[in-house]
Amino acid sequence: MRVLIVGCLGSRLEQAANIVISRGSQVDHVGTVSQAIDRACSEGNHHLVICEVECGIRSLVNGLASQRVHIPVLACGPASAALATGAISDGADDYLPLPPDTDLVASFLQDVAYESHKLISIDPGMSQLLCLVQKVAVSDASVLVCGESGTGKEILSRYIHKKSKRFKGPFVAFNCAALPETLIESELFGHEKGAFSGAATRRIGRFEAANGGTLLLDEISEMDVRMQAKLLRAIQEREIDRLGGNASIPLDVRIIATSNRDLKSEIKNGRFREDLYFRLNVVSLTVPPLRSRRLDIVPLAQHFSKKYCELNGLPSRIISDKANEILTNGIWKGNIRELENAVHRAVLLSRGDVINVEDFNAAGVSSSVNSERSIINTNPWVGNSVDDVEQALILDTLTYTDGNRTHAASILGISIRALRNKLRNYADKGANVPRPSLGLVTQQ
């Protein structure tokens, strides 16, 4: 991960930079917002911007948006609820009090990455898939990774990159469903200064940022058909044209695409180009759902337990045999992502050295297990609408995190942008949305 730090590298901001570096991320530093915008446009591969509030959060957010650069912005400054609220109102995704708390910084980085790139599996079916991956990885062939949402398609894609001869090059991921159609072209191909109103500087796109490495096109089936034609040309010709540019730029990029849809059905219904499908589908891999690889459930749960104990500064906790049995027999419609969120919540709710069935019950796992193995017989939310239950869960989680949007989004398993949109809707309807508060943040 690459992080851009904006501000004066005094002792407190420098502490934050050192924590980011200690977590394995690369750090770049600039002093002003205008320099930050120029740097983000010229390099195109930053994953997070950490900016002091004194530099001007609104100017940074608006400046990045005007250049069609989409990077999460983490504001930082003195421990002040008023400053935190103001920064988030100005467009920051969250607020980091200074001096920085190590675990809180780790939580922000975790939310941005939403990844633990370690591929964990003992299931025989997955072992066969990984054997095939080993053979595929060494080539430069395009790979199409299919599977349900939450099965770990991106992690498998990163695994392919790490096992390839391009492992020293960049791995750049682009979520095709995250941006509106009008912004995707600039995000992928970049743009020249003056390419559109407000384009004040040249912008390097994801293709150029991935040069010499791998570009992951996540959920490719969400891309508009018209944009698919431009993508096809870039893959076929191995070159791109920046928006507003006059010269083609040659590239050396390996393409990995993922999809949770049946692309053949999408082609039949006119929503996906057949020629692009054949170009991407040189090698096809299908990641099985978690319910088809039950031997992996306990090792994954143990991994997530250790991970979130460390992340939240808690002593290590094991999962009881009975709880493991419940997890193993779960339905897990959300696959590994749902399991990870369930274990994360159980870690936070447990109070001893062992995570018991009751902790998973309180974490809401009962809705995911077979009825004959249900932890409880009734659910207090029965009789309420799904929207009401979701709103209550989100607001309660935000209260639990003391208003920390990033931490709440991580626990809930949704993006910070999705959380902010929901909170805005709740506030418009008159709901009492907790403001960012620094009362539970441990200062060092």
Q: What is the pLDDT of residues 84-94, one digit of tens each?
A: 888 888 888 88
Show which of 259, 288, 317 is a domain's final residue.
288
Rounded to 5°, angle at Cα 365 from 361 and 369: 115
Domain span at residue 330? 291-373
84 within a domain of the structure (yes/no): yes
Residue with tokens 């675990």: 103
Q: Are residues 131 and 232 in the same domain?
A: yes
Separation of alpha carbons 273 and 263, rounded Å: 9
What pLDDT is recorded for position 366?
A: 54
194, 200, 222, 251 from 218: Cα distances, Å = 29, 29, 9, 20
Q: Are residues 230 and 321 in the same domain?
A: no
212 within a domain of the structure (yes/no): yes
Q: Are residues 339 and 324 in the same domain?
A: yes
440 within a domain of the structure (yes/no): no
- Laid out side by side, the sheet with 48-52 consists of 26-30, 2-6, 48-52, 73-78, 94-98
CATH at 247: 3.40.50.300
**Cα torsion 336, 339, 345, 351: sign:** negative
203 and 44 in contact (C-beta within 8 Å)?
Answer: yes
95 and 436 in contact (C-beta within 8 Å)?
Answer: yes
Residue with tokens 């709901």: 431
Closest by Cα among 221, 304, 206 to 260: 221
30, 58, 255, 427 from 77: Cα distances, Å = 16, 15, 40, 26
What pLDDT is recorded for position 421?
A: 78
Q: How many domains does the chain have?
A: 4
**Which tops the pLDDT comparison, 45 or 42?**
42
Separation of alpha carbons 202 and 330, rounded Å: 50
Q: Are residues 135 and 97 in the same domain?
A: no
332 within a domain of the structure (yes/no): yes
**Cα torsion 24, 114, 106, 436: sign:** positive
Q: What is the pLDDT of residues 296-327, one digit of tens each?
A: 999 999 999 988 887 777 888 999 999 999 99
Q: Are residues 282 and 308 in the same domain?
A: no
Greatest Cα-to-Cα distance within the chain, rounded to the nearest angstrom: 66
Regarding pTM above 0.75, the answer is: no
pLDDT tops 90 at residue 157? yes
Q: Are residues 242 and 165 in the same domain?
A: yes
Q: Between the ranges 58-67, 172-181, 262-271, where is the mean pLDDT highest?
A: 262-271
Pair of tokens at residue 55: 């530099």
What pLDDT is recorded for position 115?
A: 47
What pLDDT is recorded for position 137?
A: 92
Q: What is the pLDDT of residues 192-233, one digit of tens each?
A: 888 887 777 888 889 999 999 999 999 999 898 989 999 999
What pLDDT is recorded for position 247?
A: 85
Confidence category of residue 374, pLDDT binned at 50, 70, 90: very low
CATH at 357: 1.10.8.60
442 within a domain of the structure (yes/no): no
